[in-house]
Amino acid sequence: MTELAHGNSIVVGVDGSEASMAALRWASEQAGALGADVVAVHAWEPAGRSMAPYAPASACPTPADERVQAAELLAATVREVFGPQVDGAVRAVLVEGPPARVLVQQASGALLLALGRRAHGQYEQPAIGAVGRACLRNAAVPVVAVPATERVVTPLAVVMASPLTRSGSA
């Protein structure tokens, strides 16, 4: 799909990770407050370029198979975040190409670009990956890096203190 986001959209990079789902949730909340649309973008590249030249032909999926897998990943991620009934203000876009380039192009003219990031750098890796860093360097719109939740947060329970019993003597 080559249709780019318009000025009243929040573009979200989606890769199926918990971080990208957190970014999609965040973008949906922001879009609701701003009266904007959400454009969930998944960029994919044929794996044939990264397969070893001696890999058996049966190990190499066709580009058509890879496109179907990418579309399924995008649809599953959107369903995971929004449930089976996706709001009309959310549009899923699948684009073949390098993720950073695709996201920067898709976000051109949007309100902002939202990306997921790990909650903290894990294993001494930076919290934001190479795609996120490239988007931060090249995007013409603001880029928001939304952290993934580290753990499931349960709501706090209200604790009611029992009334103090007072004795008749002071």
- With CA atoms as reference, report the closest residue to 3 among 141, 105, 76, 143: 105
Q: What pLDDT, in 10s, does the model give residues 13-54?
A: 999 999 999 999 999 999 999 999 999 999 999 876 566 777
Show me where the domains of the chain are located: 9-147
Domain 9-147, what architecture?
A: 3-Layer(aba) Sandwich (3.40)
- In this prediction, residue 54 carries a pLDDT of 76
The answer to whether the beta carbons of residues 81 and 116 sit under 8 Å apart is: no
pLDDT surpasses 70 at 3: no
More confident residue, 145 or 57: 145
pLDDT surpasses 90 at 79: yes
CA 89 to chain centre: 16
pLDDT surpasses 90 at 80: yes
Q: What pLDDT, in 10s, does the model give residues 84-135?
A: 877 778 999 999 999 999 999 999 999 999 999 976 655 656 678 899 999 9
